[in-house]
Structure 1
Amino acid sequence: MDLQLKGKRALVTGASSGLGEAIARMLAAEGAEVIVHGRNADRAEQVAGAIRDAGGLAVVALGDLATDAGADAVADAALEGGAIDILINNAGVVSHKNWSDAMAGDWLEVYNANVVSYVRMIRRIIPQMKELGWGRVINIGGGLAIQPIKEQPHYNATLAARHNLSVSLARQLQGTGITSNVVSPGAIMNPMVEEWLINAAPKFGWGTELEEIKRKAVMDLIPNDTGRFGRPEEVAGAVLYLTSPLADYISGGIIRVDGGTMKSL
C-alpha cells in the first residue's frame, strides 16, 4: 500500500533509538524526508546515516526539548530544510519512583519532560502547518494513561495529559487541514526492558532463559490477548497510518497498540 508520504517532511522527536528510531526508519522507507531528533549527536547521526544508506532522506536536529532554548534549536534546524508536514512527539523520560519517593520536584521534572516538551514543539511547528493547509500531529501516549498502576504515579499522569492535550488540540485545529491523534503503546520490548526483565527474573521466579522470562513476565505483569510484548515496528505501523492522507477522517483519536492489554468496549 502506498501511504502517499513521498515529498512529506516529518520531524520525529526522540528518534535516536527505540520507538522513535523505528518510526523514523519506516517513514523514510515510505518516501518521507525525516528529521531525526536527539540529544546525542553520534546516536542521532547513526540513525540518520542508516536511513541514508538505505536510500532514504534524513537530517539531524539536536536539542533538549525540556528547555525553551533546546526546542528553539530543534525547530530551527528542522525548518531550515523546508516546511514540516508531520510532527511525531515521542521524546520523553520514564521514572520508576512511587508515591513514597516521588517528591513534588520529581512530578514537575517528569511533567516538563513528558508534557511541556510536546507543547513546545506543537507551538513551534503548528503555525507553519496552518500556512500549508495540511498537517499531522501524532503524540505517543500509553496504556497507563487509561489504567494507571500504583507505581510511578507522576509518569502515569503525564501519559494521561498527553492524551488529553491531543484531543483538545484536535478541536482547536478544526477546519485547518491538520489532525491531532494519539498512538498508545502497551509494553514494548527494547534493550532496556530486556535488561530489566533479566535482572528482575530471580525476584519473581521467572526462570533463567530469556524467552521463558518474557513469557512469564507477560503473564504476571501485562496479561494480554497475544501473550507477548510488542515490537517497536508494530507501534510505528500505527503511527505511519495516521501520518498518511488516508487518515484524513481521523481526528482526536487514540489507537491502542497493546495486544489487548487495556480492556474497553
Structure 2
Amino acid sequence: MEMYLTGKRALVTGSSSGIGRAIAERLAAEGVEVAVHGRDATRSETVAAAIRALGGRATVLLGDLTTDEGMAAVIDGVHGWGGVDILVNNIGGPVSMANTSWFGDSPADWMQSFQQNTTAAVSLIHALVPQMKERGWGRVIQISSRNAISPHADLGSYGAAKAALNNLTLSLSKALAGTGVTSNGVMPGLIYTPQLDGWFAEMAQKQGAGADIEAGKQFVLNNVVRQTVNRLGQPQDIAGLVCYLASPLSDFMTGTTIRIDGGSTPTV
C-alpha cells in the first residue's frame, strides 16, 4: 500500500533498539528521512547504517531526554536538521524491572517514571510541533502501553505515566484543531525484545523448566498476559500501525489511542 510519505522527516525517540528501531526502519522504507535517536552512539549509528544500507535516509541524534542537557541537544539537532513532519514519542518504560512493586516504587520513582514516559514527550511537543503548525501538516504519535488502561499492580508508576500520555494525546488533538497536525497514540501489549529473555528464563525456572526461554514465553502467554492471539507481539506489529498513523491516509484520525495487544486487555 502506498503511504505517501516520501520526502517527510521524522524523529523517532528511543529508536536505537526494540520497537523504536522497527518504527524507524519501517518509516525509512516508506521514503521518510529518519532521525534515529538514542543515548548510545554505537547502537544508534548501527541502526542508521542499516537504514542507509537498504537505500533509506537516516541521521543520528544523541541525548538523554530525561535531562535538560540531553533534551536541548536533541531539540537543537532537530532544528539544525530543518525540523520534522512526524514526531514519534517512543521513549519510556518502567523505572526498573528488578523487584518492582506498588509500594516498592518510591515517590521519587514515580516522578522519574513521569519524566521519562510523559514529560519528555511534552517537552518535544512544545519544541517541535509549532513548526508543524506553521507548515499546515504534521503527525504526533505517542507510544503508550496497555498498562495505561489495564494496569499491573507491580507497575503502578509506569501505568499511571502512560495513562497521562493517553490523556495528553487527546487534549493535544483539541489544541491542534484545524491546523493539519494530528495527535494519536498506540498502546502495545507484551512485545518481544531480547531484553525479555531474562524474565522468560526466570519464569521457566519457577515452573521447574530450567532456564528454557521458550517454556518461559509459553507460560507467560498462557498465565500472565492471557492473550487470544497465541504468539508474542513483535516490534514490526507496532511499526506497521505507526506508519499508517504517520501517513496522509490517517487524516481523519486524531485524538485516538489504539490498543494493539494480541487481545490481552479484558475491557471494552
TM range (shorter): over 0.9
Alpha-carbon deviation of 1:114?
1.2
TM-score normalised by L of structure 1 = 0.96
Structure 1 letter corresponding to 2:29: A
Which of 205, 212, 217 is the matching residue for 2:215? 212
Which aligned pairs between 1:167-246 and structure 2 lie closer than 5 A? 167-205=170-208, 208-246=211-249
Structure 2 letter corresponding to 1:127: P
How many angstroms apart in 2 are the aligned matches of 1:204 and 1:66?
Answer: 38
Give RMSD over aligned pairs. 1.3
In structure 1, the residue matched to 2:36 is 36
Question: CA-to-partner distance for each residue in 1:74-106, whole Å, 9 max, x for gaps?
Answer: 011123222310000001232332123211111
- Worse overlay, 108-117 or 12-21: 108-117
Structure 1 letter corresponding to 2:90: N
Aligned 8 A contact 2:184 2:253 in 1: yes
How many angstroms apart in 1 are the aligned matches of 2:103 and 2:207?
Answer: 22
CA 209–101 in structure 1, closer or farther in 2 if over 3 Å, else same: closer
In structure 2, the residue matched to 1:62 is 62
How many angstroms apart in 2 are the aligned matches of 1:99 and 1:85?
Answer: 38
Structure 2 letter corresponding to 1:144: N
Question: CA-to-partner distance for each residue in 1:106-156, whole Å, 9 max, x for gaps?
Answer: 111111111111111111110111111000000000101001111121111
Which aligned pairs between 1:10-25 and structure 2 lie closer than 5 A? 10-25=10-25
How many angstroms apart in 1 are the aligned matches of 2:209 and 2:60?
Answer: 41
In structure 1, the residue matched to 2:74 is 74
* Structure 1: unaligned runs, 5 residues or longer: none
Structure 1 letter corresponding to 2:187: S
* Structure 2: unaligned runs, 5 residues or longer: none
Aligned residues: 265
In structure 2, the residue matched to 1:84 is 84
How many angstroms apart in 2 are the aligned matches of 1:205 and 1:217?
Answer: 14
In structure 1, the residue matched to 2:160 is 157
1:253 equivalent in alignment to 2:240: no
Aligned 8 A contact 2:204 2:215 in 1: no
Aligned 8 A contact 1:86 1:243 in 2: yes
TM-score normalised by L of structure 2 = 0.95
Aligned 8 A contact 1:24 1:34 in 2: yes
- Worse overlay, 224-233 or 68-77: 68-77
How many angstroms apart in 2 are the aligned matches of 1:142 and 1:66?
Answer: 19
Which of 113, 116, 123 is the matching residue for 2:116? 113
Aligned 8 A contact 2:12 2:34 in 1: yes
How many angstroms apart in 1 are the aligned matches of 2:30 and 2:102?
Answer: 43
How many angstroms apart in 1 are the aligned matches of 2:93 and 2:102?
Answer: 18
**What SS does the corresponding residue of 1:221 show, helix, strand or coil?**
helix
Aligned 8 A contact 2:204 2:213 in 1: no
**What SS does the corresponding residue of 1:152 show, helix, strand or coil?**
helix
Structure 1 letter corresponding to 2:63: G
- Worse overlay, 15-24 or 78-87: 78-87
How many angstroms apart in 2 are the aligned matches of 1:216 and 1:73?
Answer: 43
Alpha-carbon deviation of 1:206?
5.3
How many angstroms apart in 2 are the aligned matches of 1:124 and 1:206?
Answer: 50
